[in-house]
Structure 1
Amino acid sequence: MSRQRFIWKAVDLNGKILHGVWMGERISEVQARLRKDGYFPVWVRSTLNWETLFSSKVNFKWSSFARRLSTLLEAGIPLLQALDLMTSHERKLTLEQEQWNRVKNRVETGSDLSEALACLNPSPNSFMLSMIKAGEYTGTVGKALSEVADELDQEYEYRQKIKSALAYPMLLFCAVILVVYILSVWVLPMYEKLFLSVGGAELPFLTKVIFASSQKLPLFLWSLVGLVSGGLLILKFTNQDRWRIRVGNLVGRSPFIGKLYHYRDFVQFSRMLGRLLSAGIPLLEALRLTAGMLRSPEMLELTNQLVLNVRQGKRMAPLLRASKIFPKEGAEMIGVAEEAGQLDQMLQYVTQMFRRELESQLDGLTRMIGPALILLLAGLIGLVAGGVMLPVFDLSSHL
């Protein structure tokens, strides 16, 4: 097998998030090297695999796999027979059939299901692998897979809900860009030639500005599209921690989407931590795994501090209360749960509370963006119409 580039994300013993790019023949080789160096791999991906660009679709595929396998296992079918049934009914591409056969062969030779799945490309995320591993320890792999499927389904549905809520504002935004482009390329140049051919009176200042802008605007729009697309690809496929942190800080401080950005991580933190604790994974390891799934630099730093506190035998609530970003109500609920020894159950209620707040913020943002874009579009068309009509009025006054 030829060597290729793999990008990886891992957590060290102190809970610090690390990224890197290593050469290797397969994902399992990179994962083994990370564990040997004392890191806990969150994910490892091949840079040649374009499917990783669409992570929600990948999660949905793993959800379907976990749901089918959990149904077979909970029906009393042995693991090897269940895998054999799944591979025999697989109607996907040949490459996927080969991957599932490889999983079945590894399980037949004595490997655990979690170890066999870790060798796939793309492999499941650390949450799914850890849940399966916990199920293997307790003999409840079927139940663990069912919980994984529930979690991935909820995440997929929630992402789809957010996309649906943002669809109308994005449509209006695209309409604004399209109108600007059409005016700049076809409409305004036609009027400019008409006015120049008439000659005589000097064009008004507003008209000159509009015509000058229309000449440079198409190049600016295409350059902006290329710059944004290139930046997204670089952030997706390269190890640019510094730029990721800068972008995260910028988004987190923005007046409109900053709160949404943080609440997305609050939901992820409480939901993942609660799921992992319910599966029997120790708090320290659950915090490390949860840290690998967060995006906000501030929330990452807070989670890393929680890892250090838990290692020293301290509780989480005091640090969460002292935090400037974590909601106080959530911190108080976690503190009560730590006192009662029911942290995993309380985190489910905290997740519901954060999710309701996030949905409320999202609804408010979409209600505000829609009218704002309509006003912007109307103002833009009115400005262009005024700039075009001024020379017409001047010409008519000279007749």
Structure 2
Amino acid sequence: MPLFQYKGRNQRGEAVRGHLDAASPDAVAGQLLNSGVIPIDIVIAQARADVFGAIRARLAASSKITLTDLALFSRQMYTLLKAGVPIMQALRGLHESTQNPALAKVISNLGESLDTGLDLTSAMRRHPQVFSPLYVNMVQVGETTGSMQEVFLQLALYLEREKDTRDRIKSATRYPTFVVAAILIAIFIINIFVIPTFAKVYAGFKIELPMATKILIASSNFTITYWPVMLFALVAAIFAVRSYVRTHEGRYRWHKFKLRVPVIGNIIYKATLGRFARALAVMMKSGVPLVQGMTVVSRAVDNDYISDRIVQMRDGVERGETIARTAAATGMFPSLVIQMIAVGEETGSVDELMFNVAEYYEREVDYDIRNLSTAIQPILIVFLGIMVFILALGIFLPMWDLVQVARKG
């Protein structure tokens, strides 16, 4: 509705002015008379409405749809559909109650697409940046089988677990990243400020400096002289690496490298396999065929290296091999997990066993994260010890030589 600007007088004869949203000037006049205000002038505030519209549009464009938003949307859809609310009415209600402007816009677009005759799956495919292939395929199965509410429940549970897994990985990598950054900053400060001070002191004594001291001074001089070049090279290297990682080959190599990083790589590896197992179990439980489920999940694990192994498993299943045999051929899973998958195939409950596999890896990730500090402290201590040892040799050896010369004199 347009925004109107009005002027009037209240019951005491005082001048009042303000703004109201209404369908027409007559509607504004009616609202004012009902509130005891006699209207004098009513004009449309077009410029102000445009400003407000621009602000709302900018906020909607800048906001981001997170996993938490999608999980909440899925759980609300499950609750509404379970209560018997029609899907169009459910979308209208969620559009009005959603706090995220970007998600509200997407929900509005879904409703408009349904009004034109599209099904929900086709409407969601118009928003690939919001709804992943896994999400869309599960909704399609729900529409085909008439089990939409169960599908939205499974999606809500999966997205909540996915959010929890990503948060744990971030917490696992935050501490070592902070420590390494602090060490690099300390080295830079020592090179720029500390070592030059000692170099001036040693230059005044005109003595032969030890090799360790010469190396430190040369390193400091190089840093002071060429730090702009070093900074430019660092920024250029970062942009080059990021550009390479955006390519198919670069992304594959980067994802493979992440899994081989000491300590942290093992956590990422287990978390990714847990994500794969849970996603496949959710899709199978929702009625998605195994081969189609593996195809979709291979694009949802967010790691090209493991995705390639999942595709190998899918190709093996298409050839008639068992899941356990194809899983063993990839080398991704330990023997315990392969035995669990084999039991699931024999009993016809692969989805339940895949849930067990996911829980197994999630427990492993929890344990590794709790013990991350204990595992990484020795590496950091050794690194810090080597750095302190080199600095001590370079700075204090000349002092020792000066003391020896003074004693002989």
Asked if these proteins are the same fold (TM beyond 0.5), I'd say yes
Measure the CA separation in 1 of the matches of 2:103 and 2:358: 35
Which structure 1 residue ranges, 5 or more long, are not aligned? 1-49
Matched residue of 2:300: which SS?
coil
Out of 164, 187, 190, the position equivalent to 1:180 is 187
Measure the CA separation in 2 of the matches of 1:167 and 1:134: 39
Contact 2:313 2:330 in 1 (8 A): no
Out of 96, 101, 107, the position equivalent to 1:88 is 96
Q: Structure 1 vs Structure 2: percent identity of aligned residues?
A: 25
Out of 231, 238, 243, the position equivalent to 1:234 is 243
Matched residue of 1:201: which SS?
coil
Q: 1:253–1:83: structure 2 CA closer, same or farther, 3 Å change rule? A: closer
| Partner of residue 132, structure 2 | 125
Contact 2:281 2:354 in 1 (8 A): yes
| Partner of residue 106, structure 2 | 99
| Structure index of larger Rg | 2
Measure the CA separation in 1 of the matches of 2:198 and 2:344: 70
Structure 1 residue 245 corresponds to structure 2 residue 231: no
Measure the CA separation in 2 of the matches of 1:364 and 1:324: 26
Give, as a single letter, the amino acid of the residue that structure 1 aligns with 2:345. E
Give, as a single letter, the amino acid of the residue that structure 1 aligns with 2:235. G
Give, as a single letter, the amino acid of the residue that structure 2 aligns with 1:215. N
Measure the CA separation in 1 of the matches of 2:367 and 2:328: 23
Out of 211, 219, 230, the position equivalent to 1:213 is 219
Q: Displacement of 1:225 after TM fit?
A: 4.9
Out of 167, 175, 178, the position equivalent to 2:174 is 167
Pairwise CA RMSD: 2.9
Out of 186, 194, 200, the position equivalent to 1:193 is 200
Out of 347, 351, 359, the position equivalent to 2:366 is 359
Out of 309, 317, 320, the position equivalent to 2:324 is 317
Contact 2:169 2:268 in 1 (8 A): no
Q: Displacement of 1:345 after TM fit?
A: 0.9
Q: Displacement of 1:201 after TM fit?
A: 1.1
| Partner of residue 58, structure 2 | none
Measure the CA separation in 2 of the matches of 1:96 and 1:286: 27
Matched residue of 2:174: which SS?
helix
Q: 1:151–1:295: structure 2 CA closer, same or farther, 3 Å change rule? A: closer
Out of 288, 301, 325, the position equivalent to 1:294 is 301
Out of 324, 327, 338, the position equivalent to 2:334 is 327
Q: Displacement of 1:103 after TM fit?
A: 1.5
Residues 99-140 of structure 1, C-alpha deviation per residue, up to 9 Å, x if partnerless?
332221111222122221222362311111112111112222
User: Which structure has the higher relative contact order (CA within 8 Å, separation 6+)?
Assistant: 1
Residues 184-232 of structure 1, C-alpha deviation per residue, up to 9 Å, x if partnerless?
1211122223322x14212221111111122345748746752564256
Give, as a single letter, the amino acid of the residue that structure 2 aligns with 1:317. A
Matched residue of 1:391: which SS?
helix
Matched residue of 2:66: which SS?
helix
Q: Displacement of 1:386 after TM fit?
A: 3.3
Which structure 2 residue ranges, 5 or more long, are not aligned? 1-60
TM-score with structure 2 setting the length: 0.74
Contact 1:106 1:116 in 2 (8 A): yes
Q: Which moved more, 1:136-145 or 1:374-383?
A: 374-383
Aligned residues: 343
| Partner of residue 370, structure 1 | 377
TM-score with structure 1 setting the length: 0.76
Measure the CA separation in 1 of the matches of 2:265 and 2:99: 43
Contact 2:162 2:275 in 1 (8 A): no
